[in-house]
Structures are given as structure tokens and as C-alpha cells.
A and B are shown apart, each in its own frame.
Chain A
Amino acid sequence: MTRRTWMSNWPVYRQIAGTDRLGRGVAARSPGTAAAEPRTERAQRVVSSICPYCAVGCAQQVYVERVNGTDTVTQIEGHPDSPVSQGRLCPKGAASKQLVTNPGRQTSVLYRRPYGTAWEALSLDRAMDMITDRVIKARAEHWQEHWQSQRARRTLAMASLGGATLDNEENYLIKKLWSALGAIQIENQARI
């Protein structure tokens, strides 16, 4: 660092020599502040989304940046164009980036065998296969063709309880497959 840049980095010098005589603007700015930029600045993409918490439906803008070769959500903010929320988010909506990025997320399949006392690892493919077999078996073993001599065509061996953060498309396919399976005990937070 030359004597001259050392001098010009000294706020008092800048205050005296520069235009910011009150020392509340450029004279007081540190190199750290000068180099600071919004974390949204480096985003490669901004994706349109909706807050996943309550049913007000505040619009969100999701900032995506490539970090170490992986697309990463770096910020989620309110979308100013929305007639519902006009850019606002509540504490939960404002924290929703953490919902995606928090280290407490479980990202691999886990399996607990009957009478087991610990989780075990299982591949997703194997888990899907095992669940498929259990659905087919439960349905086959507990089929009710009739109920009190009236045609029922159903099974009461399987139940489902959905959260209400499911997309409409997800609910639609769940209800459709469940009905075709003949399973009726399908419920949702909407009743709770």
C-alpha cells in the first residue's frame, strides 16, 4: 500500500480533502462496504414461486446461483407484482429459503424394520418396490367386494393423510390412483 492510498483510505483525510465534509457519506465508507453487493446480484436466474406456508398465497421470487457446480437457492423474496402481497412476506415466508437449505433436511431414504431399534439405509428404488408390494398385498388380503350385501368394491386396509401443501396436481393423482385401487380412507389437513 502506498503512502497515498493509505492516506486516502483514512476517513478523516477524505472528509477534509473530499466533498463529504460531514463525514456521513463517501468519506466514511470502508472498502468492505464499497465491495458489498446484494446477495441477489450474482443470481443467474430468478424463478417465480408462491409461499408454501399459509393460504394467503404471497408471491415469491427465488434467486438461483450456481455454487460449486450446483444450482443453489441463495435468496427468496416477496414478488412486488402480486396484487395479493405486493412484495410482502411474513416471518415464515421470509424464512422460507431455510426451508429449502436447512441442514436438518433428511435427503436419503430411511427404513425401520419391524421391532427395529434404529434406522437403516435403503435405496429409493428398493423402497418403491417394497411399498408397491405392500400396497398390492394389503389390497388383496383385505378386499371388500360387498358391504352388508351391497356392492362396495373397496379396501379398508390402507389409509392416507395428506398435508395441504400438496400441489393440486399431486392431490389429483393421489385421489385418482387411490380411487382406482378401491381405497377410500384418504384424508387431508383440509378436514383438520
Chain B
Amino acid sequence: MAECHPVAFGWVVEAKRRGATVLHLDPRFTRTSALADHHIPVRVGGDIVLLGALVNHVLSGRHEFREYVSAYTNAADILPEDFTDTEDGAGLFSGYDPGSRRYDNTTWQPTGERDETLEHPRCVFQVLKRHFARYTPELVEAVCGVSRQDFALLADALVAGSGRERTTVWVYAVGWTQHTTGVQHIRTAAILQLLLGNMGRPGGGIMALRGHASIQGSTDIPTLFDLLPGYLPMPRVEDDSLKAYLTRLPDTGFWGLKDAYTVSLLKAWFGDAATAENDYCLDYLPRLSGDHGTYSTVLDMIEGKVSGYFLWGQNPAVGSAGSRLQRLGLAKLDWLVVRDLALIESATFWQDSNEIATGELDPTRCATEVFFLPAAAHVEKEGSFTNTQRMLQWHDKAVDPPGDARSDLWFIYHLGKRIRAKLAGSTDDRDRPLLDLTWTYPEEGEDAEPNAEAVLREVNGYGPGGRLLNGFTELAADGSTSCGAWIYSGCFAGGVNQTARRKPHTEQSWVAPEWGWAWPANRRILYNRASADPQGRPWSEKKAYVWWDEQASQWTGHDVPDFERAKPPGFRPERGASGPAALAGTDPFIMLADGRGHLFVPSGLADGPLPAHYEPAESPVRNSVYGQDDSPVSKLYPDHAITHDQVGGHSAAYPCVVTTYRLTEHHTAGGMSRTLSRLSELQPELFCEISPALAADRGLENGGWATIITARSAIEARVLVTRRVRPLRLSDGSVIHHVGLPYHWGTAGLVRGDTVNDLLPFAVDPNVLIQESKVATCQIVAGRRPRGPALTVLVNEHRRAAGLGDLPGGPERGNG
């Protein structure tokens, strides 16, 4: 956090000054560790064991916040008799089909009965106890390399820092997400936080530290294949009507208003063409039939199935896992559009990529047409970013962009305008969505820049008569309202751009509700109803946040209550009620169908209702928790020739663990930092961090060169020998060496170096298709890597030693 989110870490330091205990779990000692109370090194890939043991510690020691757990979670739900846990199923839950590598979750559905005493053997609370009983401090020592003393310190701090008077927060970044079990890491933390009563309360929660200015916004208003704005799912081929589509979402809780959210979105996009008779043009949207994520798309590119590719400030030739495959994919396109500030590697792959040296790519045989269109920088356009805490902040335009540089808003708007003009006379049914699309925005200045505030107003939504809506509760399902993203409705409340608010923090409360605007409804802490007890009173004066005001008959407090303002704590829903009315006055988790925090998740997860430890797709060790080694449902793209056999570890040819990360002075794939002289001077060169023990074993010298080899490729880096990386001794006596690699370099920019992502496989989490960038297995040897075709020879030597075939693909790949 101190490395990658330094300014946010300032608040952790402030909390420590006020008495908080700060613990840092990381394989490496970093700037964060230097300022924490304790640093606990953990083997990469062991997080579920460590977190699971904390769950076990809480449950076996009866440290749970009992009133919170009883009232606000699904602990009392009784599971059916045919549900079987990983304990019974040798590491698999019931419903697994090895052929399709998928779970059928029928047996995970609660029976509808509850046992409020939490004693029934099949209630979630008891199932949880049995499931995690195996996760002991001894197991943590064996799997993660964490000593029992360190574990006790962590467990005691967690328990002491939770309860009525105190809260604990977990802060994570891609160290938890970039795994084939990434979602379940956060799930385990969620179980802990629910058991300890740390959700919906000030100083609690689970904070995702996201790495890009609007990466949260890019998920909320998604440029993602599987979502529509506001986390509505993209339709699938089987959704043949609006009614069928809406069955994807719950009927109760605030998803119960799904018809209003969906219809308002379709009205925003298709205007008058969207009517009740035509299901508001839902049929205009393309349908999904499977995984259309970025990694499968790249494999499609290599097979020549994709004609065109647009890159918007993104550099997959350096920044995406398996970057050799990314570049080979670019070389098989018909055309490529790159919009960026500088000539990044994804634009110049046909000139300078490593594959030209290895003979895999010949520019004179590569047919890809490349358009480089310069982009405007953040101060050369106006618009809003959504930060990591869901807060939208408007940025004004300071100067015009230089030369041909334009905003991405300009590009997409004018591209759409040109396409619509060329298809204007079309009678083809497939062109109707384009021609009926609402695509009129005010144009400004010489360049005809579309007005960004007009776009944000459309996102906020309009009611009858063109009145700007004040929030999502005003949305209707009858076509009378339009709204581009229901969760952002209210960002233009009262006709004012709320995201541009800049009231100084010194002139408002500590919650600072008048700086920017947070979705939904300017609520700064989600599910904050849980900060009060079931009767609506704060759990403690010290931790008071929102509460029920009996006299005014409404919820009030320091923040906007994340609850129906007038619903009293004593409210009980009528049988068969739907939407928000189906939730009681004691159900804080209003986006879940039952309003309760899910210790056990019956649906929505591909890899199980409870977290279970599996080793990474590539690991130097076998799974010592279950008979199943790696995730039984992770996506490894095994059918594709080019990735076949690339994944799979346990080989002496690749005995070390490689992990990747960022440095304070650079930004991801380097497109926004390697062109800046000041940042380049601060971190001029790629290096690998290794322990003195590994250095001695391999004859590696500090400041010298090392070659790091995986089943995908080999790269070279300067050696940094440091005690910041420690060998971890597992209880079976094996010693795990980590090789740490920052991944910012490539062939362009002021400072250059090998591309670390060349080393990583295509192996993704089955829930969200995020790649396992944080862990793979490697070999490390002294000296620089070979040049030219000899590089492939080196990689193949190691592949053969590991029992893998030669690297697929040969010389002169390309479009020839």
C-alpha cells in the first residue's frame, strides 16, 4: 500500500499514530512493512489457508460477535442433506462435474428453515465450523511458512481489534485478486469480517485498493464483456425476452427493482424506439454464449478469428499475462487502432518486438494495419473519474490537446457519428440499433468536442419532461424515466454536477459528504445500517455512524443511511413481498435477496459456496490440505494448442516461485511513466529481488545479471540481493524461494528492459476471469539471456526437462 497507494497509506500511518495496530502480510518486506507494527511473510498462493485459520481461530475460540452474526448473516440457514463439503468430498463440494470442470449448485441451496440457536448440525454456522476446523496454525506453518508465533500475533490482534468498541479493516490489492482462487481470497476475508461484526461500520470493511484513476468507474460503467452499466448482466443467448432476462437477478431486496434499472437504461440508449411493446429494445443488445474475456479473445486473434482491435490507453504487449501471445495476436489482426499518449509497444510490435529477434515474426509478412491516434491527457479534457472508494470526482479541462490529440470521448463520439451517417439509409435489421441509438450530444469548439457533462446527465437520468432525476429511487419500469447507470443516478441531483463539488475538508464533517459524490446516493460506507444494532442503536458511542431516530421516525447519522430512510427497525415483511419491501428493518445487506451477509454463498460463485485452499495453477508443492491440487474449476484454456501444457507445476525444472508487482515510481505497463524523465531516472532498470540464500545457491551477484525462465519464456534482469525476500521453510522441510519482479518495462520509452509478463501463463479465476499474475514457477540462473532464436532453444530445454513439449509456434509466424 505504501508502494502503490502512498497517499492513502498516509491514513494508515495516521491510524497507527492514534493507536491502531498495523499488520502487513506479504511475501516481501516493502515500504509498507517498514511502517507497520509487524510484517508477516507468507508464501504466495497460501492466503486461503492463512485467512481460513483465522476463521477457525474466531469460531473455535468463540470470538465471534454473536449478536451481529445472529441478526445480520445467514448463519442460521439450514442446508439440505445432500450438500457435501470438501471435508467429505476429498477437496470438492457436491455438484462437481469433472468433464465440464463445473459445479451444479442445486445442493448448495438452503432449505428455507432456520435455526436461530445456530446449533443445528446442518446450519451454516456449524457447517462453517467443520469446514474450517482443518485450517489450524500448524497447517498455516506447513503451507504458508508462517510461524505459530506470528500467526498467534495476527489472530490476537484481529480479535482484540474487533467488537462493539473497535473495528478491523482488511486492505487488499491485486495480491489477492490475481490468482486462480482470487475471488475466494476476498470471500474468506468477508467471512471473517461478518463473524467479527466489521462490515458496514466505520473503520471496518474490506477495502479494494484499485490501481487506476477510474478502474472502479470502468467496472461501474463497464467496458467489460459480461456487464451492462450498474452491474446489470449482459443478456445471454437464452434470454429471449425482457422477462426471461430479468430472472437473472433476485426479486427481493434492491435488485427487486431490476425492471426499473433495465428499462431506464434501454430508454437512455434507444429513446423513443424503446417501448413496452418491443421489450424496450432489449433485443437490440448482442448476447453472450460463454467466455468472451480478453484472454480467450487473444487466442481467437492468434487463430485469425478477430479482424479489428481497439486499444484505449492500454498496452497488452507489456501489461497482460502471456505478453508473447498478446504480441503474436496483434500480428494476426487485419487492423489495430491504438489510442495513447506515446508510441507504446502494442503500437510498435511490428518494429521492435522480441518475436522479430526469435524469428517468430517477420514484419514483411505481417499484414496488420496499425492506426496510431494520439490521445488527450487528463488535463486536456473534462470528465469524471471514480476512485477506489466509489467516489466520482470531476476534473476540469485546463488546456487544449496538442496537434491531432483528442479525448477518447471525441473519438468514440465521432466514430459513432460517422458509422451512423454511412449506414443512414440502411434497411438491414441489424443496423436498427445503431440508427435508433440516442447519439446527439452538444459539440463545442473548433474540434467539435462532445460535451462531457451532457453525457453525465444522461448517465444520471431524466424523468418526465426532461427533469434530471435526484436518485435511483425515482426510476420507473414503465418507460417514463431514462438512466444510463442506475447506481450513478443522483450524481446530477438538483441539476448540479455533484461530482465537481470541492468544499474544503476543513469546512465540513469528517465524512466529507460535500466533496465529490459517491455512489449510490452519496453513501460513503456501504451497508451502514449494520453500524447500528437490530433495534437501531449504535453498537457503541465510539463507533456510532447511522442510527434510528425514534422521534423523527427515520434513519439518520453522519452519513447517508444505506437503507430505506423511513423503514423502522421493527418492520417485518409480509409473506410473498418483493423488492425492498421483502426486507425487514433488521436486514442491512440490501443488495442481497435475503438482506443478510452471506457466510455461505448458495449461488453466484463458480468455485464453491465456501473458500477452500487449492494450490496455484503452477506451484512448487502439492496441496497438503486436500487431495485436489489446483482449483478444479479454474480456466486454463487447455484445448488451445498454444497454451496446452503451459500450466502445471511440481517440476524440478522450475523450482522457484515468481511473483510480480509494481514500484512507486512507475505505473503498470509503463505507458504513463517510462516516457517521463523524472520517474525513469528514479527507477531506470528492471531488476529481480532475491534472497541472499538463493543468490549464494545460484552464484548470483548483486548488480549482476540473472535469467529467469518459465514454461512460456525467459527474460533477463539485474540482480538485487536483499533480505527483504526471505526463503520460507515449510514444515515438510522444503524451502521455497521467491523471485520478485516489477513488471514495468518493455522495448519503448526512456528506460527499457525485458517484459516480465512474457513469463506468465493464461490461467484465470473461474468467477471473474482475472489472470494468475501473482504466482508461477520459474528457474533462475546467472547471466544474461540468449539473443535471437537461441532464446527459444533455452526455453525448450527447460520445457523438455519438465516433461513439456516444445513451445508451440515456430519461426515466421504472422499473417504471411
Contacts and interface: CB of A to CB of B under 8 A. Distances in A.
Interface of A: 45, 47-60, 62, 64, 70-73, 76, 79-86, 88-93, 95-96, 98-100, 102, 104-117, 119, 122, 124, 127-138, 141-143, 145, 147-148, 150-192
A98 B37 CA distance: 36
B379 A100 contact: yes
B650 interface: no
A156 B305 contact: yes
B364 A115 contact: yes
A165 B672 contact: yes
A180 B5 contact: no
B433 A182 contact: yes
Nearest to A104: B675
20 contacts: A47-B379, A50-B387, A50-B393, A54-B667, A56-B8, A92-B665, A105-B374, A105-B405, A134-B335, A135-B415, A142-B307, A150-B238, A158-B307, A160-B310, A161-B316, A167-B409, A168-B385, A172-B484, A185-B306, A190-B215
A117 B292 contact: no
B224 A180 contact: no
Q: Which of B286, B391, B407 has the most CB of A within 10 A?
A: B286
Nearest to B224: A188
B217 interface: yes
Q: Which of A55, A82, A136 has the most CB of B within 10 A?
A: A55
Interface in B358-373: 363-373
Shortest 5 CB-CB contacts between residues of A and residues of B: A167-B383, A57-B387, A163-B313, A164-B212, A107-B403
B768 A56 contact: no
Contact of B377 (A52, A71, A178): A52
Contacts of B347: 110
A114 B418 CA distance: 24
A156 B398 contact: no
Nearest to B333: A159
Contact of A164 (B218, B391, B455): B218
Given A49-B379, A168-B392, A135 B308 contact: yes
B425 interface: no
B696 interface: no
Contact of B286 (A53, A64, A153): A153
Majority-rule SS of A interface residues = mixed
Interface residues of B, number: 162
A192 B373 CA distance: 23
Nearest to B432: A180
Contacts of B213: 50-55, 57, 164-165
B802 interface: no
B231 interface: no
Contacts of B621: none
Given A95-B676, A165-B213, A185-B297, 7 more contacts: A47-B397, A107-B403, A134-B369, A158-B306, A160-B311, A164-B210, A172-B459
A144 to B, nearest CB: 9
Contacts of B667: 53-54, 92
A105 B308 contact: no
B212 A92 contact: no
Interface stretch (B97-105, B110-118, B336-344): B336-344
Q: Which of A54, A90, A108, A177 has the most CB of B within 10 A?
A: A54
Q: Which of A51, A79, A142, A180 has the most CB of B within 10 A?
A: A180
Nearest to B208: A55
B422 A136 contact: yes
B216 interface: yes
B262 to A, nearest CB: 13
A47 B682 CA distance: 28
B374 A167 contact: no
A130 B371 contact: yes
B695 interface: no
Given A163-B313, A169-B384, A177-B416, A114 B456 contact: no
Contact of B455 (A105, A114, A172, A181): A172
A98 B393 contact: no
Contact of A55 (B215, B365, B413, B422): B215
A92 B367 CA distance: 37
A114 B368 contact: yes
B339 to A, nearest CB: 9
Contacts of B10: 88
B418 A128 contact: yes
Interface in B1-37: 4-8, 10
A76 B380 CA distance: 13
Contacts of A80: 504
A151 B8 contact: no
A55 B223 contact: no
B307 A138 contact: yes
Contacts of A145: 430
B237 to A, nearest CB: 4
A77 B488 CA distance: 29
B679 interface: yes
Contact of B7 (A64, A93, A109, A143): A93
B502 A102 contact: no
Contacts of A56: 5, 7-8, 209, 387-388
B381 interface: yes
A52 B508 CA distance: 26
Interface in B730-749: 749
A152 B408 contact: no
B225 interface: yes
B396 interface: yes
B399 interface: yes
B287 interface: yes
A84 B505 CA distance: 9
A48 to B, nearest CB: 5
Contacts of A85: 7
B285 to A, nearest CB: 6
Contact of B418 (A98, A132, A186): A132
Contacts of B402: 105, 107
B269 interface: yes
B244 to A, nearest CB: 12
Contacts of A93: 7
A172 B342 contact: no
Contacts of A178: 223
A84 to B, nearest CB: 7
B309 A160 contact: yes
B300 A156 contact: yes
Interface in B503-517: 503-506, 508, 512, 515-516
Nearest to A177: B416
B387 A127 contact: no
Contacts of A142: 307
B481 to A, nearest CB: 17
Nearest to B215: A164
Contacts of A51: 213
Given A55-B216, A177-B415, A48 B502 contact: yes
A87 B378 CA distance: 18
A175 B223 contact: yes
B222 A188 contact: yes
B399 A59 contact: no
Given A71-B400, A81-B505, A181-B434, A100 B308 contact: no
